[in-house]
Amino acid sequence: MKIGEFANQLGVSTDTLRYYEKHNLLTPSSRTEAGYRDYGEATLKQMKFILRAKNVGFSLAEIKELLQIKFKKHQHSCHEVKDLTIQKRDLVAERIAELTRFHQSLSVLADKCCGGQEPADNCSILTTLEDIDGLTQ
């Protein structure tokens, strides 16, 4: 399968596939005489693995680690894999916590403001940002 058809089947761009190849995430099975990339069953499975891993929030760098483990499963332990997963989960949790603080502060600000058509001279949002320090505590 040439790159265009392969990309279509997976719903990604050919650029993405070349990018993944460059970054050692997915190398096509072989090349045609003309030098065209030729993708097969194995690459299809691997690409699906990559897309699923992306879907649960792993970065490409993390996926690369997972693939290295996957390639040599018996040289790695369950522990390693679970560790990666939990590390990622905790990182996601931290980011959620930060964004939740943002959301809370923004809600407080929004609730303070009338949102009317009058000039913003006394807008509570602006004056709060000008004056109050403890907005995030």
Partner DNA sequence: CTTGACCTTGGTGTGTACTCTAAGGTTTAT
Partner DNA sequence: ATAAACCTTAGAGTACACACCAAGGTCAAG
Please compute Rg for the chain using Cα positions.
24
88 versus 124: smaller Cβ distance to DNA: 88
Closest distance to DNA from the beta carbon of 133 (Å):
18
Please report whether residue 53 would count as binding DNA according to CB under 7 A. Answer: no
105 binds, among a second copy, DNA, none (CB under 5 to 8 A by kind): a second copy
d(CA 72, CA 62): 16
d(CA 124, CA 128): 6
Amino acid type, 81: V
Interface region with DNA, contact rule CB under 7 A, candidates 12-20, 66-74, 83-91, 96-104: 12-20
Closest distance to DNA from the beta carbon of 113 (Å):
22
Distances (CA, A) of 69 to 66, 74, 78, 80, 127: 5, 8, 10, 9, 54
d(CA 88, CA 62): 9
d(CA 87, CA 92): 9
Question: From the list 9, 24, 27, 59, which residue makes contact with DNA (rule: CB under 7 A)?
Answer: 59
Question: From the list 55, 61, 72, 137, which residue makes contact with DNA (rule: CB under 7 A)?
Answer: 61
- Residues forming the site for DNA (CB under 7 A): 2-5, 12-16, 18-19, 32-37, 54, 59-61
